[in-house]
Amino acid sequence: MYLIGFPLLVVPFAVYNIIEFLIPGATPGAFWSHAIAQIGLASGAQWTLTTGDLMIALSLIILFVEILKSTRLSTRSIIDHLLSTVLFVIMLIEFLLVKQAATGTFFLLLMISFIDVVGGFSVSIRTAQRDIEIEGAGITRS
């Protein structure tokens, strides 16, 4: 699988930037508050699904795939972690310095990227510890 060494969270980041920078004259974040659907709930309330909500939901699905990818120990997973960290740093810089990124949707994408970085390294370290414990279990000392 070739996508192992590629952080998939680049996709929502790229989509966000393409939409924000290619819609001329739009106010930053205006696209992400457009209603896609209104759904009546059993409580009688109306739930409005926005484009920003949909972007976050899809990003969370991608985050799940990224966490699954982090359970593999290989050179590609190390590269994937490194690229995920680079992506997080780029997103953080963009959030702090670019007006179009100062939205709630982009902030949540930034937090998803942060969870990907921290979660990926945590899972990898935990998996590596288990490998060491299993290999060390057969050693007897005299």
Q: Tens digit of pLDDT for each residue in 112-137? A: 999 999 988 888 777 766 655 555 55
* H or E stretch covering 15: helix 10-22
pLDDT at 136: 54
Domains of the chain: which residue ranges? Answer: 8-136
How does pLDDT run across 34-68, given as a tens digit for each residue? 899 999 999 999 999 999 999 999 999 999 998 88
Query: What is this structure's pTM?
Result: 0.80
For the four alpha carbons of 112, 115, 121 and 123, in that order, the dihedral sign comes to negative
Which secondary-structure segment (H or E) carries 38? strand 35-40
